[in-house]
Amino acid sequence: MNVQGRMQEFRRILIIKPSSLGDIIHAIPVLRLLRMKFPQAYLAWFIHEKWADIIKGHPDLDEIIAWSFQWSQLLGLFKVFREKKFDLAVDLQGLFRSGVISYLSGAPVRVGFKNGREGSSLFYTHKVSVPHHPIHAVDRYLLAAKVLGAVPSDPVCTIPISPLDEQFVEDLLRESGLLPSQHFVALNPTARWWTKRWPIDRFAQLTDHVQDSGMSVVVIGGEEDIPEIQRMQSLMRTHPVIVAGKTSLKQLAVLLSRAKLLITNDSGPMHLAVAVGTPVVALFGPTDPVRTGPYSRMVGRSPITHHIIRRPVECSPCLSRHCKVGDHRCMMQIEVEQVFEQVRKVLNR
């Protein structure tokens, strides 16, 4: 069966990209291309309920199917899919459970990556070839849109923001002692993988340096990050603004859009900052910036220069949640002065 030969038949399309924050942001340009290719189609996105807010209100999206990922609720999800009558499912996740979801969607045409993990490709009717050399996640996802006949263009990543989100952030910063016109640096000292994290005491030293230079620092994170951020704060001389756990994803996007810079580990907020046009200084260790680094080829804004700080150790990138050599050398060899010097260069521009 030829996908190109069935193009005009696709009227109800399901995008499958349930997680995580950075990966979802990387996939948003595919939504734009599919809308351009199929302007009359009904476009739905299957997503973990934790991340659904980031695409809520997107102008190219007709429906969000948010799920808790409790397999006990699978029968209910199956019934939802049968009612929707999708004729095309595009799995951008490429894992066993997303492959299963594509199959359960009932779509007769199911597109996914040939090199999908955990046997996910067994569930696809059409498999997208991916180059053997490393490419960025955004470009990988765009290959699926290309197979479906979408015309290649510079990626567009739209994060729908409401006036209420804007007002919330303005009030939050004012209550924290920052005036609307006051410049600040955002700082994200955590990451989901332990191996991605730069030592918290070095983030403490760096924050002191930045604030000593006259620039305020706003520390971001989720509720689960608060204990680590409190530990960082206990090691500091100065007093940054802490907003961890106080914002939704959309409100975090607004806050990052107002920052002069984000200093961060490889994480979802890094990609959110890139999406809203804020430069980042990103610290990389176990992951590959070629695949998941800041992606700056987004259309609709002036060119943004992002900076990656990474030490050339022989075991990096290992792409592992656990340090295989035991000493976390990829992150431990990044020095505070090295990061601060790069931060100063960005701010001086």
pLDDT digits (tens, 9 = 90+) for 73-119: 888 888 999 999 999 999 999 999 999 999 999 999 999 999 999 99
H or E stretch at 207: helix 200-212
Which of 7-16, 25-34, 50-59, 267-276 has the weakest average pLDDT? 7-16
- Are 315 and 190 found together in one domain? yes
pLDDT of amino acid 38: 96
Q: What is the DSSP string of 290-348?
A: HHHS-----SSS-----EEEE---TT-----SS-SSSS-HHHHT--HHHHHHHHHHHHH
Q: Look at the chain and report how many structural domains it folds into.
A: 2
pLDDT digits (tens, 9 = 90+) for 252-286: 999 999 999 999 999 999 999 999 999 999 999 99
- Are 178 and 300 found together in one domain? yes
Contact 43, 65 (CB under 8 A): no
**Single residue among 147, 174, 192 that ends a domain in this structure:** 147
pLDDT digits (tens, 9 = 90+) for 294-322: 997 765 555 678 999 999 999 999 999 99
- Would 158 be classed as within a structural domain? no
CATH code of residue 326: 3.40.50.2000
- Are 77 and 53 found together in one domain? yes
Q: Is the pLDDT of residue 126 over 80?
A: yes
Q: What is the mean pLDDT of residues 184-192?
A: 97
- Are 316 and 190 found together in one domain? yes
Determine the Cα–Cα distance for residues 65 and 48; give it in Å rounded to an integer: 8
Q: Is the pLDDT of residue 4 over 70?
A: no
Sign of CA dihedral 16, 21, 26, 31: positive
pLDDT of amino acid 72: 78
- Are 143 and 197 found together in one domain? no
Q: Which two three-digit tokens encode residue 147?
A: 């197979």
> What percent of the chain shows pLDDT beyond 70?
96
- Would 76 be classed as within a structural domain? yes
- Would 154 be classed as within a structural domain? no
Q: Is the pLDDT of residue 179 over 90?
A: no
Instruction: Output the pTM of the full model.
Output: 0.92
Q: Is the pLDDT of residue 246 over 90?
A: yes
- Would 90 be classed as within a structural domain? yes
- Would 196 be classed as within a structural domain? yes
Query: Residue 71: which pLDDT band, with cuts at 50, 70 and 90?
Result: confident
Check residue 231 and report its DSSP letter. Answer: H
- Are 251 and 103 found together in one domain? no
- Are 223 and 263 found together in one domain? yes
- Would 81 be classed as within a structural domain? yes
- Are 141 and 251 found together in one domain? no
pLDDT of amino acid 48: 96
Q: Is the pLDDT of residue 134 over 60?
A: yes
Respond yes or no on whether the N-terminal peptide bond of residue 20 is cis (omega within 30° of 0).
Answer: yes
- From 183, 187, 216, 220, select the one nearest 204 (Cα to Cα): 187
- Are 192 and 329 found together in one domain? yes
Residue-range definition of the domain harbouring residue 209: 163-348
- Burial profile 132-165: b = 16 or more Cβ within 10 angstroms, e = fewer: eeeebbbbbbbbbbebbebeeeebebbbebeeeb
In whole numbers, what is the pLDDT of the chain averaged over residues?
93
CA 185 to chain CA mean position, Å? 20
- Are 19 and 89 found together in one domain? yes
Q: Is the pLDDT of residue 188 over 80?
A: yes
pLDDT of amino acid 185: 98
pLDDT of amino acid 69: 81
- Would 327 be classed as within a structural domain? yes
**Single residue among 89, 122, 147 that ends a domain in this structure:** 147
- Are 233 and 319 found together in one domain? yes
> What percent of the chain shows pLDDT beyond 90?
88
pLDDT of amino acid 152: 79
Q: Which two three-digit tokens encode residue 321?
A: 């949640």
**Single residue among 93, 116, 147 that ends a domain in this structure:** 147
Q: What is the mean pLDDT of residues 236-257?
A: 97
Contact 41, 12 (CB under 8 A): yes
- Would 153 be classed as within a structural domain? no
Q: Which two three-digit tokens encode residue 272?
A: 């959110």
- Are 130 and 173 found together in one domain? no
